[in-house]
Amino acid sequence: MNHAYTAPILSVNQLVAAYGQSTILRGTTLSMQKGAITTVMGRNGVGKTTLLKTIMGLLPVQEGTITFNNQDITKIPSHKKAKIGIAYVPQGREIIPKLSVYENLQLGLIAHADKNAKLPEEEIYHLFPILKDFRKRAGGNLSGGQQQQLAIARALVSNPTLLLLDEPTEGIQPSIAQEIGSILQKLVKEKGLSVLLVEQKIDFATQVTDHYYFMDRGKMVMDGGAEELNHKALEKYISV
């Protein structure tokens, strides 16, 4: 595997994690460069979501280590991980449907390290203008793409340096997906954010990623720079 990184923000080393008796991560190893987008690809059920959950501390690590900014965070619980700068946008977004857009955004403050922090409304609405127009609308009344933007915006409210993002393009229109891709690239470029993305769509991944990993049955089996993202090779793995 190619590990030409100089300053990893996140290193996952030989991670093993399970749901009860069912082992899903079987020695997963990954290294992420600061200020870049790293994408994990792979078929359904190979353990991509489980990897994000384990990094976030929602599933215990059985073996292996997770290092974030040179700090061993293997055993740190998820709420503490949020406070040290890791944010997680799960698959399905988890917008609270009855709360307004504004109230959903406020929930992001819970994870902020500074308990007196205020909602950075201007910054959020600059990135996601649609959320300003809809700030009083119930979250449940937004389209899938708008909910995804809200979920990312809410995660940014905690001021993370690492964003874990699970299939943001699932079920949304290609044009909105492209918009989300551009916003992610902007965040990386302007704020130095690092993004660990789980994604099944090769077109989206090639649009945004700096480095990719390909996962199969709980392990990384291939990785490389964006320019090496080979459609044919990946399609062979991705198509079931």
Ligand X SMILES: Nc1ncnc2c1ncn2[C@@H]1O[C@H](COP(=O)(O)OP(=O)(O)OP(=O)(O)O)[C@@H](O)[C@H]1O
| 3-state secondary structure labels for all residues of the chain | CCCCCCCEEEEEEEEEEEECCEEEEEEEEEEEECCCEEEEECCCCCCHHHHHHHHHCCCCCCEEEEEECCEECCCCCHHHHHHCCEEEECCCCCCCCCCEHHHHHHHHHHHCCCCCCCCCHHHHHHHCHHHHHCCCCEHHHCCHHHHHHHHHHHHHHCCCCEEEEECCCCCCCHHHHHHHHHHHHHHHHHHCCEEEEECCCHHHHHHHCCEEEEEECCEEEEEEEHHHCCHHHHHHHHCC
Among 3, 45, 173, 221, binds ligand X (CB under 6 A): 45
Using rule CB under 6 A, residue 28 touches ligand X: no
CB 146 to ligand X: min, Å: 22
CB 22 to ligand X: min, Å: 5
CB 42 to ligand X: min, Å: 6
- Cβ proximity to ligand X, 42 vs 85, nearer residue: 42
> Of 17-25, 74-82, 94-102, 138-146, which part binds ligand X (CB under 6 A)?
17-25
- Cβ proximity to ligand X, 166 vs 210, nearer residue: 166
Using rule CB under 6 A, residue 47 touches ligand X: yes
- Cβ proximity to ligand X, 157 vs 219, nearer residue: 219
Residues that bind ligand X (CB under 6 A): 19, 22, 24, 42, 44-50, 91
